[in-house]
A and B are shown apart, each in its own frame.
Chain A
Amino acid sequence: MTEATLLSVRDLVTTFRARDSVVRAVDGVSFDVPAGASIGLVGESGCGKSVTSLSILRLVPDPPGRIESGSVLFGGRDLLALPEREMQHVRGDQISMIFQEPMTSLNPVYTVGAQIVEAIRLHRKVSRRAAHQRAVEMLRLVGVPAPEDSSHSYPHELSGGMRQRVMIAMALSCEPKLLIADEPTTALDVTIQAQILELLSKLQRDLGMSVLLITHDLGIVAEHTSHVLVMYAGKIVESAPVIDLFARPRHPYTRGLLESIPRPREDFAARGASGRVRLKTIEGMVPDLSRLPPGCRFADRCPLVKDECRQREPELRQLDGGTRASACFRAEEV
């Protein structure tokens, strides 16, 4: 863990108990978030990206979930070892989180101003009046029009985009060092998505905070992060600076994901008589976590699979002088 590392996750294992089996939703995940950086965590549904972020904040519902082992070092302390009371001071104050659906994360019976005030007064010893001023200032910062008036609105009176701005205002009201944004724009329209992502990037630069951006959208990753972690079936399979990842993926799964995105303009020359270009696909589907194959979890879908891949599981290994890593025996050939 270097001086500039803000968050360091090591060997995190989080399990969920199903009816007759235990599923390792996060299975030995390790990564660092440097101070001031924007890290993307991508993967498909069920790969463990959201459980990873919930584990960092110890918000995994228990039961059925359980953080089995590993450590989450933040500011020199292991968050997994803190008493719950101290953990409450970390949440919302030093590490904040915003979710996909702002309507379900806001309380419908309180005004948005009151909810931001509550969040501030939970962590700061300030008067109600000062907290209200701070709330209005935050609403202005995130671009809510007429912030004083809007602070008296109830969540249902605001549009989806405005509600997500309110969530961001609340999450940032105590100036956290780390913001975890879990699919923050998935429920929004494209023009509103662009506004919210631009706002997040601007605030990240202006406030100097770190962002862990969880998404399934590779376009968002390309535009708004500097380093990317790719998850598959509970493990990180590739980690690389964003430019390098897109220029040359070093895991067959990452490569498959990138190739399955339609790029109609670039494909123009490749169109045949029917004017059609077939998309490349990743055949098959994600393995059942309760019945994992013995070797590499991607083996059944992998175009580069060899015997070794089915016998033992590849570890995440460093490449290119340690700037990136891949969990593939044939990373150099991808």
Chain B
Amino acid sequence: MAAPATTNRSTSRTLVATDRLTKYFANRRGVFGRMDAVVRAVDGVSIKVRRGETLGLVGESGCGKSTLGRLMLRLVEPDYGRIVYDGHDIVPLTQAQLRPLRRKMQIIFQDPYASLNPRMTVRDIVGEAIRIHKLASGKSEEEHRIAELLTKVGMRAESMDRYPHEFSGGQRQRIGIARALAVQPEFIVCDEPISALDVSIQAQIVNLLQDLQDELGVAYLFISHDLNIVEHVAHRMAVMYLGKIVEQGDSPSLYARAHHPYTRALLRSVPVADPSRKRLHVLLEGDVPSPIDPPPGCAFHPRCPRAIPGRCDKDEPTLAEIAMGSGHKVACWNPHIEEPSVERDSRMTPPP
């Protein structure tokens, strides 16, 4: 598909960047709300999303990826750090000052059943933001605009006067996308947008999101635990573990030559839909530790097969490039450098 709106991504400007963004949640207990623990949900994260590109954000539940997405839209207030949108730090802005920016930043949620108001018609859901931001001059222009948006996301304009419960999960997600697009945003946080959908419907929504990007030049932060989908949609990706980015880079480079042992473990844990190739399973031991009391040094060291005693359990590694100028960064004292990420035994070994 031709992409008139997208310029060359690698030379295009940064749209939104975070600088040491941090959010701790206090875990209060007892009748007096005594604070007894702090959850380090997002801990000094610096990432950037360029115009028209998709940044994939992967990690396991509780790693802070959804909180990071909400922080970037200021749906959650940061404790520390900057969020630079189109050259301006938006953290000091008041809610009123934020309003014009809200138009440019949108979010699509995981659960299309919970994120649409059941008492509103599709017309109201999609039209609400058009009215708030005064994007239509009258009733007929508003209706025309809603019909256009529904058509764009692959729905019939006649669906306008129906309610969310009359639609399937996939169609509801299309309504959610139409709502996000109503204000002509530049940046959309997609928080697990297809996880609640069936396999055959997932592909439809992924294609739709990609078509819209090609057509409108919108940038996505694509949050997902499904590494297959992220590899398919993301130009660049970031891997998160216990509130920190442990590796980031261009998708092909990161998938082919993951440097961080955690990224490798994630890649190898994904079941492969090809029974003729039996994988060499290297399973990660143990559970994800609690973000309330993360291990000292590198937070991954208790589960890491390459941990160096005396080093990884003492000093925290910082995110840095291995090859200068590659943009592929890793936070690890003992990274994989050369070997490919996923080795497979290519012999035919049918299961018993």
Cα distance A154–B292 in the bound complex, in angstroms: 20
Which of B6, B273, B279 is A218 in contact with, Cβ under 8 Å? B273
| A38 CB to nearest B CB, Å | 7
**Inter-subunit contact A222/B271 (CB<8 Å):** yes
Chain B residues near A282 (CB-CB < 8 A): 200, 203
Question: A247 and B255 in contact (CB under 8 A), knowing A262-B232, A277-B232?
Answer: no
Question: A189 and B199 in contact (CB under 8 A), knowing A194-B281, A195-B283, A246-B273?
Answer: no
CB contacts under 8 Å to B, within A34-88, are 38, 44-45
Cβ of B229 < 8 Å from any Cβ of A? yes
Which of B198, B203, B275, B279 is A242 in contact with, Cβ under 8 Å? B275
Cα distance A298–B202 in the bound complex, in angstroms: 18
**Inter-subunit contact A162/B287 (CB<8 Å):** yes
Chain A residues near B14 (CB-CB < 8 A): none
Output the nearest chain A residue to B262 by Cβ-Cβ distance. A191
Cα distance A247–B269 in the bound complex, in angstroms: 23
**Inter-subunit contact B232/A264 (CB<8 Å):** yes
Chain B residues near A281 (CB-CB < 8 A): 200, 203-204, 207
Chain A residues near B283 (CB-CB < 8 A): 191, 194-195, 198
Question: A219 and B271 in contact (CB under 8 A), knowing A44-B200, A279-B203?
Answer: yes
Which of B6, B210, B235, B351 is A38 in contact with, Cβ under 8 Å? B351
Cβ of B12 < 8 Å from any Cβ of A? no
**Inter-subunit contact A190/B207 (CB<8 Å):** no
**Inter-subunit contact A260/B265 (CB<8 Å):** no
| A179 CB to nearest B CB, Å | 16
Chain A residues near B273 (CB-CB < 8 A): 218-219, 221-222, 246, 258, 261, 263
Which of A224, A263, A268 is B351 in contact with, Cβ under 8 Å? A224
Cα distance A280–B200 in the bound complex, in angstroms: 9
Chain B residues near A105 (CB-CB < 8 A): none
Chain B residues near A225 (CB-CB < 8 A): 351
| A147 CB to nearest B CB, Å | 16
Cβ of A220 < 8 Å from any Cβ of B? yes
Question: A222 and B274 in contact (CB under 8 A), knowing A277-B232, A285-B168?
Answer: yes
Cβ of A312 < 8 Å from any Cβ of B? no
Cβ of A106 < 8 Å from any Cβ of B? no
Chain A residues near B288 (CB-CB < 8 A): 159, 189, 191
Cβ of B335 < 8 Å from any Cβ of A? no
Cα distance A219–B277 in the bound complex, in angstroms: 11
* Interface size counted on chain A using CB atoms at 8 A: 55
**Inter-subunit contact B199/A279 (CB<8 Å):** no
Cα distance A23–B108 in the bound complex, in angstroms: 33
Cα distance A263–B200 in the bound complex, in angstroms: 15
| A68 CB to nearest B CB, Å | 26
Cβ of A314 < 8 Å from any Cβ of B? no
Cβ of B270 < 8 Å from any Cβ of A? yes
**Inter-subunit contact A262/B272 (CB<8 Å):** no
**Inter-subunit contact A280/B287 (CB<8 Å):** no
**Inter-subunit contact A222/B275 (CB<8 Å):** yes
Chain B residues near A265 (CB-CB < 8 A): 231, 255
Cβ of A90 < 8 Å from any Cβ of B? no
Chain A residues near B171 (CB-CB < 8 A): 285
**Inter-subunit contact B1/A216 (CB<8 Å):** no
**Inter-subunit contact B201/A285 (CB<8 Å):** yes
Chain A residues near B231 (CB-CB < 8 A): 262, 264-265
Chain A residues near B207 (CB-CB < 8 A): 278-279, 281
Cβ of B228 < 8 Å from any Cβ of A? yes
| B228 CB to nearest A CB, Å | 5
Chain B residues near A275 (CB-CB < 8 A): 235
Question: A257 and B199 in contact (CB under 8 A), knowing A195-B283, A198-B283, A243-B275?
Answer: yes
Which of B170, B199, B228 is A264 in contact with, Cβ under 8 Å? B228
Cβ of B284 < 8 Å from any Cβ of A? yes
**Inter-subunit contact B352/A226 (CB<8 Å):** yes
Cα distance A280–B201 in the bound complex, in angstroms: 10
Cβ of B191 < 8 Å from any Cβ of A? no
Output the nearest chain A residue to B234 by Cβ-Cβ distance. A264
Which of the listed residues B199, B201, B232 has the most CB atoms from chain A within 10 Å of its own CB? B199
Which of A201, A219, A258 is B270 in contact with, Cβ under 8 Å? A219
| B3 CB to nearest A CB, Å | 5
- Type the 1/0 row for A224-255, where 1 means its CB is closer than 8 Å to any CB of B: 11100000000000000011001100000000
Output the nearest chain B residue to A301 by Cβ-Cβ distance. B200
**Inter-subunit contact A226/B350 (CB<8 Å):** yes
**Inter-subunit contact A205/B352 (CB<8 Å):** yes
Cβ of A217 < 8 Å from any Cβ of B? yes
Chain A residues near B202 (CB-CB < 8 A): 260
Cβ of B318 < 8 Å from any Cβ of A? no
Chain B residues near A263 (CB-CB < 8 A): 228, 273
Cβ of A276 < 8 Å from any Cβ of B? yes
Question: A262 and B228 in contact (CB under 8 A), knowing A219-B272, A276-B1?
Answer: yes
**Inter-subunit contact B351/A197 (CB<8 Å):** no
**Inter-subunit contact B276/A246 (CB<8 Å):** yes
Cα distance A321–B273 in the bound complex, in angstroms: 26
Cβ of A315 < 8 Å from any Cβ of B? no
Cα distance A14–B267 in the bound complex, in angstroms: 40
**Inter-subunit contact A44/B198 (CB<8 Å):** yes
14 contacting pairs across A/B (C-beta < 8 A): A190-B227, A190-B266, A191-B284, A201-B351, A216-B198, A223-B278, A223-B279, A242-B275, A262-B203, A264-B232, A276-B1, A276-B210, A285-B168, A285-B201
Listed in ascending order, the chain B residues whose CB lies under 8 Å from chain A are 1, 3, 6, 60-61, 168, 170-171, 198-204, 206-207, 210, 214, 225, 227-229, 231-232, 235, 251-252, 255, 265-266, 268-276, 278-279, 281, 283-284, 287-288, 350-352
Listed in ascending order, the chain A residues whose CB lies under 8 Å from chain B are 38, 44-45, 159, 161-162, 189-195, 197-198, 201, 205, 216-226, 242-243, 246-247, 256-258, 260-265, 267-268, 274-283, 285-286
- Other than the known A162-B287, A191-B283, A194-B281, what 17 A-B pairs have Cβ atoms closer than 8 Å? A38-B351, A191-B284, A216-B198, A218-B273, A221-B273, A222-B274, A226-B351, A260-B200, A261-B228, A261-B273, A267-B232, A268-B252, A274-B3, A281-B204, A283-B204, A285-B168, A286-B198
| 6 tightest A-B CB contacts, nearest first | A219-B271, A262-B232, A189-B60, A44-B198, A260-B203, A279-B203
